[in-house]
Amino acid sequence: MAPPSGPVRAPESDTGAGPRIRAARKEAGLTQQGLSAAVAVSRQTIIAMETGDYAPSVYLAVKIARALGVTVESLWGTEA
């Protein structure tokens, strides 16, 4: 059986990542377009992550965190 096509929807428990991504992006002084250019994805991908409609790959999550100057855990996980 083939996996479903289309975007990957973030799990319901991960709904807090979107606002954290948006806040970190604004804190870094980046627009959605600026962040998308920095990590080589479309602006629509950034929008989908900020609204919780898309969960990025680990590779993209690391690129986003580095571009924003934060840790992956601060965006998608919990920091102790």
Encode pLDDT of 17-71 as tens digits.
999 999 999 999 999 999 999 999 999 999 999 999 999 999 999 999 999 999 9
pLDDT for the residue numbered 16:
79
The position carrying tokens 């580095």 is: 66
pLDDT for the residue numbered 80:
45
Tokens representing residue 52 in the block: 């919780």
Please, are residues 49 and 17 in contact by the beta-carbon 8 Å criterion?
yes
Helices (H) and strands (E) in the chain, counts: 5, 0
pTM of the model: 0.77
Task: State the number of CA atoms in the 13 A half-sphere of 45 facing the CB.
Answer: 17
CATH domain 12-70 topology: 434 Repressor (Amino-terminal Domain) (1.10.260)
User: Residue 5: is its pLDDT beyond 70?
Assistant: no
Please, are residues 63 and 39 in contact by the beta-carbon 8 Å criterion?
yes
pLDDT for the residue numbered 77:
86
Please, are residues 64 and 39 in contact by the beta-carbon 8 Å criterion?
yes
pLDDT for the residue numbered 13:
45
